[in-house]
Amino acid sequence: MAIPTLSPALVSKLEASQTASRALATLTTAQKNAALSAIADVIDANQSSILAANALDIAAGESNGMTAGLLDRLRFTPERLTSLAQAVRDVISLPDPVGVVVRGNDMPNGIHLSQVRVPFGVVGAIYEARPNVTVDIAALCIKSGNASVLRGGSAAENTNTVSVGLIQQALVSVGLPAEAVQSIDELGREGATQLMAARGYVDVLIPRGSANLINAVVLESKVPVIETGAGVVHLVIDESAEISQAVEIAHNSKVQRPSVCNSLETLIVLDTVAPRALPPILTRLVEAGVTLKGDARTREIFPAAGVATDEDYATEHMSLEMNVKVVSDLDEAISHIRRFSTKHTESILTNNVAHADKFLAEVDAAVVMVNASTRFTDGGEFGFGAEVGISTQKLHARGPMGLPELTSTKWLVRGSGQIRH
């Protein structure tokens, strides 16, 4: 595939980002926190303008037939904006990763070595229908000393335009360059394509969105990518699980917010407990509006379920749809997960210590849980403040990404005239 030529408009923005990144890299923690405080305050003070812009995006999404799951991700409410501003304030209280010594030692000749955390420089992000990501990534990049270049997609363009403008206003108010946070939404799809080719201008690229978007960025980008993955998430219930607890956890994992990547997609139940466990669990889910599909054994126990295919088991629905699978034992459950998992989050409900240990050891995912809702896979819940995304790859970062994951390292060598012999 031919590498696209970068447009003068994009090059101008990226050069400004590089200049801004050099300024951010030398900021004190107090200066970064002042910027974050200003951003949180400007969000709180301008909720009405953000909501008005968001209403335009919601109306366009509805007229274009956007799914309920995507509309939910796109939608801002006063409560969500208040939480978003608080998430920015939460980042203020987090340790500044820049300058932290990862390791170090003194060589026999007296040279002192230290490996320290440093900003990436310019962080690019490509995402869709997620206006909260605009603020989350901007805040985390500022605290970690990075400039950010954002492509938020046409679905949220009105919301993102207002949000980025307010963020830039906040940055200027504390003496920082507005170009520390920039949007390239006005450059359209071609802007996203060019951003993936902007090696040398952009240090790392983070995609967030559908499996199709993420795969396109991973396969086509010339810029190094931190892959955030789709969430085909499983919950296993064995014969020792408490049924009442399983009802609540399955319901919470699926229903609390079905449009997000840590929402439950497939419930796996061991056959020994299925006749007792499935009726109360699935009844509660159906009452909450969940459409169920299952294998033959599931439908035998719970006839209201539809037929599940391999395609269903491989799908991240992002809606009130869920699959069910009855298996003979834990080995078959783990085998099913290995086949269909996107390596995001997997959980088991069990009071059998051997089963818990086996699940933790053998399941390959960014987050593996015992006796907990899958909804806890989240940067905020993990104590990271806002969240860059949830990495499902194995290099550099895995799981919810916070401030340390937005840094690289460099070696500092302090000598006193030594030469190598």
Angle between the 78-92 and 131-143 helix axes, to the nearest 10 degrees?
A: 10
- pLDDT, residue 247, reads 98
Residue 395, pLDDT score: 85
Phi and psi (nearest 5°) for 76?
Answer: -100, 145
Q: Flag whether pLDDT at 387 surpasses 80.
A: no
CB atoms within 10 A of CB 414: 11
Residue 214 has pLDDT above 90, yes or no: no
Per-residue pLDDT of 100-136, as tens digits, reads 999 999 999 999 999 999 999 999 999 988 999 999 9
Average pLDDT on 82-97 reads 95
Is the model's pLDDT at 367 over the cut of 80? yes
Q: For 98, which DSSP code?
A: T
* 406 vs 318 pLDDT, higher one: 406
Task: List, for residues 150-194, the tens digit of each pLDDT value.
Answer: 999 999 999 999 999 999 999 999 999 999 999 999 999 999 999
Q: Which pLDDT belongs to residue 307? A: 98
pLDDT in tens, 219-276: 999 999 998 878 899 999 999 999 999 999 999 999 999 988 999 999 999 999 999 9
Asked if pLDDT for residue 386 goes beyond 80, the answer is no
Given a contact cutoff of 8 angstroms between Cβ atoms, the answer to whether 388 and 404 are in contact is no
pLDDT of residue 131: 95
- H/E stretch holding 105 reads strand 101-106
Confidence bin at 44 (pLDDT 50/70/90) = very high
Burial of 372 (0-12, 13-18, 19+ CB in 10 A): middle
| Residue 212 confidence (pLDDT) above 90 | no
pTM: 0.86
Give the separation between CA 403 and CA 391, rounded to whole angstroms. Answer: 13
Coil/strand/helix, residue 115 = strand
Amino acid identity at 293:
K
Mean pLDDT, residues 330-357: 97
pLDDT digits 0-9 by tens, 283-308? 999 999 999 999 999 999 999 999 99
Question: What's the whole-number average pLDDT of the chain?
Answer: 95
The pLDDT-based confidence of 3 (bands split at 50, 70, 90) is low
pLDDT class for 2, splitting at 50, 70, 90?
Answer: low
Percentage of the chain exceeding pLDDT 70 = 99
> What is the amino acid identity at position 289?
G
Spatial distance between the Cα atoms of 205 and 404, rounded to a whole number of angstroms: 16
Residues 142/36, Cβ–Cβ less than 8 Å:
yes
Query: Percent of the chain having pLDDT more than 90?
Result: 87
- How do beta strands 147-151 and 122-127 pair? parallel
All domains in the chain, ordered by first residue? 8-227+393-413 (3.40.605.10), 233-376 (3.40.309.10)
C-alpha distances out from residue 14 to 3, 4, 136, 405, Å: 17, 15, 20, 22
d(CA 209, CA 133) in angstroms, rounded, equals: 10
Confidence of residue 361 (pLDDT cuts 50, 70, 90): very high
Cβ-contact 393, 371 below 8 angstroms? no
